[in-house]
């Protein structure tokens, strides 16, 4: 076993250990929380934070997310901080391995522990879900006064591409198809040097608008919350005010399309979600 593989295994073992310890402590303490639609809140929370595996029949590109608020002891906060630190180290170890070998470590982690392998088989799980391994537990340093949750449904990623890059992408498709040929012809009519944009709509995410109210001012911060937010809370402190958003995201875009968009909303090359700039 080389040093890169050893680094991955050691960082994974520590991450897995910290996750299990955090879940155990969470079940023991049962801190005050708001975790909507939960039948057994603490059991479900412990499972959610420890969830780092693909499940059979699910889309591996998506992460399983739920939101909520958990008022924690100092010890529980510190355990979560150790998890986040170890997640970063594990992500770096995977990145170093991929950089040097050009591939991911395959079945290395699945075969690491017979106990883990047995658990996977019993639970109907498949393989490690790297995105869920990497995502950080949201932690606040101070107890918020108020948290407003809302769906963000307008997100999208934009990738700038040159004409030769787009042409290479089209040529990887079935060029015998008429629609591909038409798109190649349309691309050839563009002026050399024109940049194009590939748009990828992002799945709806829950955002938290957090406020800390002081005598003279209010501090506000917004963040995505794919996992319930942890914050310090003493036994005599009130739980933060919060709203209760719909469980499902709205079906339609909430924000009105601007009239001065830099990108043409109509796809220029539909097969690749390629758009022209206005």
pLDDT at 128: 76
Encode the chain (278 residues) as per-residue pLDDT tens digits: 578 878 888 888 899 999 999 999 999 999 999 999 999 999 999 999 998 887 655 555 567 789 999 999 999 999 999 999 999 999 998 888 888 776 665 555 555 544 444 544 444 434 678 888 999 999 999 999 999 999 987 667 788 999 999 999 999 999 999 999 999 999 999 999 999 999 887 778 899 999 999 999 999 999 998 899 999 999 999 999 999 998 888 775 544 444 435 888 899 999 999 999 98
* Residue boundaries of the structural domains of the chain: 3-142+225-233
Which architecture does CATH list for 3-142+225-233? 3-Layer(bba) Sandwich (3.50)
For every residue of the chain, DSSP letters joined together read: --HHHHHHHHHHHHHHHHHHHHHHHHHHH---EE-TT-SSHHHHHHHHHT--EEETTS-TTS------EEEE-HHHHHHHHHHHHHHHHHHHHHHHHHHHHSS--TTTTTTS-HHHHHHHHHHTEEEE-HHHHHPPPPB-SS--SEEEEEEE---EEEEEE-HHHHHHHHHTS-TTSHHHHHHHHHHHTSPTT--EEEEEEPPPEEEEEEEEE-SS-EEEEEEE-SSPEEEE--TTSPPPEE----SSPPSS--SPPPTT-SB-SS-SBGGGTEEEB-
pLDDT at 259: 41
């Amino acid at each position: 076993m080389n040093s890169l593989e050893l680094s991955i295994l050691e960082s994974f073992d520590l991450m897995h250990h910290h996750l299990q310890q955090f879940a155990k402590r969470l079940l023991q303490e049962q801190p005050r929380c708001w975790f909507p639609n939960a039948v057994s809140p603490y059991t479900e929370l412990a499972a959610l934070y420890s969830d780092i595996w693909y499940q059979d029949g699910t889309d591996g590109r998506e992460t399983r997310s739920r939101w909520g608020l958990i008022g924690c002891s100092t010890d529980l906060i510190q355990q979560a901080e150790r998890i986040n630190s170890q997640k970063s180290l594990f992500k770096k170890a995977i990145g170093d391995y991929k950089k040097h070998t050009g591939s991911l470590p395959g079945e290395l982690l699945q075969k690491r522990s017979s106990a883990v392998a047995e658990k996977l088989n019993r639970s109907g799980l498949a393989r490690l879900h790297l995105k869920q391994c990497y995502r950080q537990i949201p932690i606040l340093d101070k107890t918020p006064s108020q948290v407003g949750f809302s769906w963000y449904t307008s997100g999208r990623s934009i990738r700038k591409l040159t004409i030769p890059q787009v042409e290479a992408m089209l040529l990887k498709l079935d060029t015998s198809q008429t629609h591909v040929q038409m798109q190649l012809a349309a691309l050839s009519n563009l002026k050399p040097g024109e940049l194009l944009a590939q748009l990828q709509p992002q799945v709806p995410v829950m955002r938290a608008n957090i406020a800390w109210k002081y005598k003279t001012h209010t501090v506000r911060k917004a963040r995505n919350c794919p996992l319930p937010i942890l914050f310090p809370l003493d036994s005599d402190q009130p739980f933060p005010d919060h709203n209760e958003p719909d469980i499902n995201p709205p079906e339609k875009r909430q924000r009105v399309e601007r009239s001065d968009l830099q990108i043409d909303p109509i796809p220029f090359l539909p097969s690749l979600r390629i758009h022209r700039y206005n």
